[in-house]
Amino acid sequence: MPPRMGVVRTELRDALDDECHRDAMTRGRLSALDGSFLRLESPQAHMHVGWSAIFAAPEAGERPTIEALRERVSGRLDRVPWCRWRLREAPLGLTEPCWVEDRQFDLAAHVLAPYGPDDQVSHSAFAALRDELLSRPLDHARPLWQIVFVPRLEDGSVGMIGKVHHALVDGMAALQIVGLFSDELPDASSRDDPTPEPAAGEHLVTWALDSVTQTVSDGLGLVRAATGAATRPASSVRGALRGAGRVLRAVREDVLPPAPNSVLNVPIGSRRSLVGYHARRLEVRAARRAGGTINDIGLTVVAGALRALAVRQGEPPHSPLKVMVPVNMRRVGEAGPGNKIAMVNLELPIDLASRAERLDRVCAQTQRLKTSDRAQATEALYAASGLLPPPLRSPIVKAMASPRTFNLTISQSPVPRQFSMLGCEVEQVYSVVPIAEGHALAIGMIRFRQELFFGCYADPDAFPSVKDLPALLESEMRALGDMTPALAQRDCREPA
């Protein structure tokens, strides 16, 4: 940091120190990517991820209760300390918000049961409850997560709905919230030496000024790197050029090519609906004989279902959709809150009438993605946006999430390999992928025990056909499984 910048920071800190909230326990500033999900949020666009799960009735022992669930979660909160964090806006809006400890944290406000233990709730009532909950944004004055528990459905099973703000978690981080209630981890209270994350006290003005000076310092570093490149070793210059080239390539390949017009891209309201299709193991196994990975099969099935819907409505598509696919960028074993993902765009070949050609096109793209650095490039692009002054970040973020940039998000979310809750095995689980302004549909895929769960999350007023997607997805999955042996045995490789 330049010496004068440090003096300015100290003077400003001293001048404003009396206005600091000294009791704030800051837990870290949001990254540019984390903050982007706050900037995208509006009364129409709720930026929470989530899930809907149904667990089988327990085979023996007591039924799960809200008291037992809260006790389980309470015993594990020290493992996921960021579940007690809430947002605090930066002073003067100088940078991204930070996370602070919620001193009024109330677990009962985050783990709820709207029905009593003896109420038998129909599946239609559970679906209505789910849609109502998902249509409401999370309260920014509290930690940004909520679990709603339904102790007894009409067939004896157990229901659960969860939502977590995307500013707090990506798919991998959301697994840690699932770990609060799943059966696979021991309660923190049973450990010999619980070690909660230590607090890091920091004045709010200090935090804001550090952020500003760090941004300035980063900018000066870029200038110094550019002006001093000629005197550096060739390897350093090549590395700098590669980094800049990655960002430019991400802009060229993922941002600039316009998405086509689509019925999926219309003004939306605040209502949400989640419907799902569960592809059983035998269905998925049969479809995989056609080639590709389970993820390839899922993308191809979505392409076929959306094409069938368009044809049914008398509008056969003539161009592929541009879909945004989040890619996990965490290292093996890396945990913690926040987002470590890259946003990569692929073409969803709804314009191809041949099912085999659609699968080939999907496989070719995913194979190219695995051998390229496009994910690293888009990750660098979002990181670079953090160097912009805060007033400029919102329009940039909104432009990158606009219907001009992509038509649809399709995301594959992880779940634990063994997934049960208070002795109840999961039977179905669908993920919630948020939709931004101008996007009426998002699709989440969950792979669990060689089965696929497709969650179709939409504004039912803007895209009423969402109710037809589960049947169309099922039809496409079975059609892939019924492909002729000659087609099923071919390689799924990029054409020469």
Where exactly does CATH 3.30.559.30 map onto the chain?
256-488
pLDDT, residue 458, reads 99
- The CATH number corresponding to 3-190 among 3.20.20.70, 3.30.559.10, 3.90.1510.10, 3.80.10.10 equals 3.30.559.10
Asked if 274 and 457 count as a contact pair (C-beta separation under 8 A), the reply is yes
Question: Given a cut of 60, is residue 229 above it in pLDDT?
Answer: no
| CA distance linking residue 228 with residue 406, whole number of Å | 38
| CA distance linking residue 235 with residue 231, whole number of Å | 11
Question: Given a cut of 60, is residue 272 above it in pLDDT?
Answer: yes
Among 17-21, 127-131, 303-307, 413-417, the range scoring the smallest mean pLDDT is 17-21
The pLDDT confidence band at residue 28, using thresholds 50, 70 and 90, is: confident
| pTM metric for this prediction | 0.83
Where exactly does CATH 3.30.559.10 map onto the chain?
3-190
pLDDT, residue 256, reads 74
For range 449-458, the mean pLDDT: 96
Contacts of 279 (CB under 8 A, 6+ apart): 287, 301, 451, 452, 453, 454, 473, 474, 477
pLDDT, residue 19, reads 34
Among 144-148, 186-190, 425-429, 467-471, the range scoring the smallest mean pLDDT is 186-190
The pLDDT confidence band at residue 77, using thresholds 50, 70 and 90, is: very high
The pLDDT confidence band at residue 228, using thresholds 50, 70 and 90, is: very low
For range 210-225, the mean pLDDT: 45
Question: Given a cut of 80, is residue 336 above it in pLDDT?
Answer: yes
pLDDT digits (tens, 9 = 90+) for 45-76: 999 999 999 999 988 778 999 999 999 999 99
Q: What is the mean pLDDT of the chain?
A: 83
Question: Given a cut of 50, is residue 199 above it in pLDDT?
Answer: no
pLDDT, residue 196, reads 32
Question: Given a cut of 60, is residue 268 above it in pLDDT?
Answer: yes
pLDDT digits (tens, 9 = 90+) for 344-385: 999 999 999 999 999 999 999 999 988 888 788 777 777 777
- Our measurement of the distance from residue 319's CA atom to the centroid of its chain's CA atoms, rounded to an integer in Å, reads 27
Asked if 459 and 269 count as a contact pair (C-beta separation under 8 A), the reply is yes
- Our measurement of the distance from residue 26's CA atom to the centroid of its chain's CA atoms, rounded to an integer in Å, reads 24
pLDDT digits (tens, 9 = 90+) for 235-264: 544 554 455 666 676 666 666 778 999 999
Was domain 256-488 assigned CATH 3.40.50.1000?
Answer: no
Q: Angle 374-385/234-250 helices, nearest 10 degrees?
A: 90
